[in-house]
Amino acid sequence: MTPSEIALRVEDVAVDLGGRRVLHDVELTVDRGELVALIGPNGAGKTTLLRTILGLQAAARGRLLVEGRPARPGRVPVGYVPQRHEFAWDFPISVANVIATGLTGRLGLLRRPGAAHWEAVADALDRVRMTTLADRPVGQLSGGQRQRVLVARALALRPSVLLLDEPFTGLDIPTQELLSALFADLAHEGRAVLMTTHDLLNAADSADRMVLLNRTVIADGTPAELVADPSPWMTAFGVGADSALVRMMTAVAR
């Protein structure tokens, strides 16, 4: 991998929260055209790492670069899909207008979207197959539709780097498959996609690389490499060799 191919670089990053170090010595790169699954137990620091990349959480040490530039809110081409509970779904706003809010960082609070911005919104709606629901109030959407709206909001920026925080949680199988195919397509188009997930089988099937994180990077490799070795899973999740997780990943390797 050459420097020109790297869209996202995390170098020796440490993060403190509440006076406690929650991430340390984190090293990670995501290439253009690559889908990377970030995996670890609850409390491992996955969401904190995404928020630090976005510039929403300060790093105590290290560098975070997007397209070679320091990561700062609204200053770098990063799309972010948060977990669904982080959005106020009872707010009286249409699907299209929610997606347009993804452009606020680029537009500023007072500037209204122009024709090119609404074209980006329309393109994003099409990518998630929500065009016919553009005018529907978001409070009337199902859980899967809400997740697709959050993905579209991130895509409206036309980002070179896309961060996804547990995008499959609570979704039915058809919506999971739709989004999995979309994320793979976005990577194939040249975007760098970093996704936190507890869906290990989906990650093993769809990701180019898997990164095991528990306060620091425990292992980084292709799915074939990681499912063949139980040791990093035992370290990252603090489980024994006879745990269900290790047995599941061993079965995948077969």
Give Cβ neighbours of residue 107 (< 8 Å, ≥ 6 apart): 113, 117
- Residue 174 burial by Cβ neighbours in a 10 Å radius (0-12, 13-18, 19+): exposed
- Domain borders along the chain are 3-77+160-253, 88-158
3-state secondary structure of 7: strand
User: What separation, in Å, do the N-terminal and C-terminal C-alpha atoms of the chain show?
Assistant: 29
Give Cβ neighbours of residue 233 (< 8 Å, ≥ 6 apart): 212, 226, 239, 245, 246, 249
Under 8 Å between Cβ of 189 and 135: no
Chain-centroid distance of CA 73 in Å reads: 16
Query: 132-188 pLDDT, tens per residue?
Result: 999 999 999 999 999 999 999 999 988 999 999 999 988 999 999 999 999 999 999
State pTM to two decimals. 0.91
Fold of 3-77+160-253: Rossmann fold (3.40.50)
Query: 9-45 pLDDT, tens per residue?
Result: 999 999 999 999 999 999 999 999 999 999 999 999 9
